[in-house]
Amino acid sequence: MSSPGPEPAGPLAAQSRVFSVRRLAALVRKESLQLVRDPSTILIAFVLPAVLLFLFGYAVSLDIRGVRLGVVLESDGAPAQSLAAAFAGTRYFRITTVHDRRAVADQLVSGALRGYVVIPQDFEQRLATGGSRPLVQVVTDGSQPNTANFVANYARGVVIGWRAQQADDGVSAAAATPTIALAPRFWFNPEIDSRRALIPGAIAVVMTIIGTLLTALVVAREWERGTMEAIMSTPATVAEILLGKLLPYFALGLAAMVCSTLLALFVFGVPLRGSWFALLLLSSVFLMPALGQGLLISALARNQFVAAQVALITGFLPAFLLSGFIYEIASMPWPIRWLTSVVPARYFVSALQTVFLAGDVWPLLLRDLAAMLAIGAVFFLIALRRTRKSLDV
């Protein structure tokens, strides 16, 4: 690649080495005008976040609702009928009641059912005598392990709840409650609604796309068209040029963050137990590594298509898979857990979940802020060094 020209000499050279707020303001104004005139930038910054939040909010769910379950009612006694009614009354299952297990076995194989519960013929005898024999049999579809575990655990919970209710009603002395009674309490998300954890994580993914992809595309476009070389030949310093490029997109990212938060609050019903100050502070700090990564990608690629592909691979995919947004980091193999420590979205997802669900827990937030600042500083230093080298080739 050709050099944009020799370095200026004399007083002009000295002037170009001094940081100028006036030149920076001019560059920011130029970039802001270009941003407003580009409809694709507005679409990525405001329309894409709304679409992704609606997808994550309504299409992605870790909750079990309406799972198709068969109930094989081999006994006609009143307790067996009562237990079958308890299964039918829960919101987690859609029940198909039969009297022969052969009627549901084929449906389990075909996928029409995710499992079935057998209430045996001697159910009343087992209930009356107690002992080690299980009351019911639960058969699940092991081809989907997560759903199979959900079905087994929820079915067990229905039986335990039914026995406790029977004991409270004094129906059977043998159905007495266990010696130790468990009363679970879920902090921060008492409804166990996965959407309340997914939406903050989705906002982090959206902010990653806005910061990394937009910056990579815009600066790569400048290199591709040759206008970046013209800017480099001006008296403006490299730091002024990079800041002039990034500040408008920093403001755009904060605006997108505010819009995403309003959607989370008023459309998806996610509570914000922390302060807006903490939320905007976290977003501002997170935009540093996101914008710095996009800047570094554009400095290395200098081609819009390549920059977009690299931004998706190194920005979106790690934010989606390695941030704890969907998959818990603690359950990953240790090499992958180590790799997540250099993913900025990991700390942003954790911080957003803390602010939305728990509040301003500053010991946790300060740790995440420090990690994002460190990663952002590394990205900016590498991008600055790389851009300086490009002037000498």
CA-based torsion, 291, 295, 300, 301: positive or negative? positive
The burial class, CB within 10 Å (0-12 / 13-18 / 19+), for 188 is: middle
So where are the chain's domains? 27-60+193-390, 67-175
Lookup: tokens for 187: 């902090």
Alpha-carbon distance of 208 to 147, in angstroms, equals: 31
Which ranges of the chain have pLDDT less than 70? 1-17, 61-64, 130-132, 168-186, 191, 388-393
Tens of pLDDT, residue by residue over 200-218, are 999 999 899 888 988 888 7
What CATH number was assigned to the domain covering residues 67-175? 3.40.1710.10
pLDDT of residue 6: 47
pLDDT of residue 293: 92
Q: Which of helix, strand or coil describes residue 11? A: helix
Distance CA 149, CA 156 (A): 11
Give the whole-angstrom CA distance, residue 303 versus residue 228: 12
**For the whole model, what pTM was predicted?**
0.75
Considering all CA atoms of the chain, what is the largest pairwise distance in Å, rounded to the nearest integer? Answer: 102
Question: In this predicted structure, what is the pLDDT of residue 271?
Answer: 92
Compute the distance between CA of residue 276 and CA of residue 261 in angstroms, rounded to an integer. 10
**pLDDT on residue 287:** 94
pLDDT of residue 274: 94
Give me the DSSP letters along 178-216. Answer: PSS------SS-TT--THHHHHHHHHHHHHHIIIIIHHH
